[in-house]
Chain A
């Protein structure tokens, strides 16, 4: 097998490149996932950008500021902050079976 580069030529300065899901699919960390009830959600009901507490307080940046907000369950760790901070209790944590 021919070497592409001699060992001494490999400058390894220990650098990283950005990727999504560096820790894997962190959604697998929790069986409980947030589900938004669109009949209660403020932006969903009004059709206008408003509230977005769930988007604001999510530490993982897995909630998107759409109407209604969309949650990327594949990476959501199920912490429950969005449920606690929703002013109209539109979010419940429900057990979602692992795919």
Chain B
């Protein structure tokens, strides 16, 4: 992961980016490359998107985002109301209320901050508020860990949010700008989470091309919100209590029940995949950078029998593994998922139905079952005749380094298991120190527990 440059990654998007790194370190924020951490890339995107209200609470590894925003505001480079709230739960509450009043909003968090915000996640989705949340993914306690894994990112999946995972800092900047355009599209109006690896991306410096403000303004028009409490000419109550039933008041109207409200949320989320693709393609046309087809990125997939399936920054290791295994004669490719929600089941099915083996690498785990990417992919391929053999591995929880050798090991193990076609749901961890685990014992701490 260290020292990797983004130009090598996007050869499926139309060639490497030609880079001229600007020597100036000042605040001239025009058409230049800057050396930025992932957090700062997100902050620059918030600035250029002309976000109206930002409300966030500091948490490792996201704190530099809000620090940079505060710096921009102090220097007069950003005209945004930054509400310095007293908890993450309040942060998303402020964003929801500000969005309902008709402002463009943004927030950022990680791990436990997201867990605290959790009550407000379905609220934002159900209220159809275009909130953009930057998630510097971090492991969830207990025990405490500040290091990277995707457990917080996957926790959002059932709440009705669009979720996009980024692979490098340029993608973070680009995706946050795209996120506002997607979220505020009248066919969408859904909150979006832009995820990126804590520390590995959030704190690692890479060259990022910052576009000119005029170009960004052209790409991203100002918000026209459907609720807009500040317009007092239309009186409205927002988010009332609903019932299971339809409410018929004759001439005054028939209002659907909770079931219909939630159905319309599902339909919007399903349909949003088209708009995500549209906005991605518009962005590519205007700024010359693309990320696969916008939904997932493919690498050496066309003639591959074996596919590695992953999400986020571990794709870097996966790409190196693919190159190495190809040298050994394996016909292997990589699919990196970009849009996690709505899960692009149909598109993945079309792409992967004729492959022989798929190895999914999850930097997360749905405890009690399997890695989320693994089992969601399996369900997407349900019903396919002669479906591929699918196996998943858990890697890198709590920031355990994901080595290329683990990925190669995982692929080779799966190939062996695939020969017997035995379906195992056993969740295998790669990079585990079983030797240490075998010897370690905490039982002496628990001795005092007997009742006297």
**A interface residues, Cβ below 8 angstroms from B:** 6-19
Contacts and interface: CB of A to CB of B under 8 A. Distances in A.
A75 to B, nearest CB: 16
A8 to B, nearest CB: 4
Contacts, number: 55
B189 A15 contact: no
A62 B249 CA distance: 22
Interface in B194-230: 226-227
B256 A8 contact: no
B128 interface: yes
B261 A14 contact: yes
A8 B187 contact: yes
A10 B264 CA distance: 7
Nearest to A16: B237
Given A8-B264, A11-B128, A11-B268, 6 more contacts: A7-B267, A11-B186, A13-B128, A13-B238, A16-B238, A17-B235
B267 A13 contact: no
A14 B260 CA distance: 11
B227 A19 contact: no
A79 B129 CA distance: 41
B248 to A, nearest CB: 12
B268 A16 contact: no
A8 B236 contact: no
B235 A13 contact: no
B270 interface: yes
Contact of B127 (A7, A13, A19): A13
The 5 closest A-B pairs by CB, nearest first: A16-B237, A8-B271, A8-B267, A7-B267, A13-B128
Nearest to B271: A8
B127 A14 contact: yes
Nearest to A14: B239
Contacts of B242: 14
A15 B229 CA distance: 11
Contacts of A11: 128, 186, 189, 226, 264, 268
B240 interface: yes
B249 A19 contact: yes
Contacts of B268: 8, 11
B102 interface: no
25 contacts: A6-B271, A8-B187, A8-B267, A8-B268, A8-B270, A9-B187, A10-B264, A11-B128, A11-B226, A11-B264, A11-B268, A12-B260, A12-B265, A13-B127, A13-B128, A13-B129, A13-B226, A13-B238, A14-B239, A14-B242, A14-B261, A15-B227, A15-B236, A15-B238, A19-B252
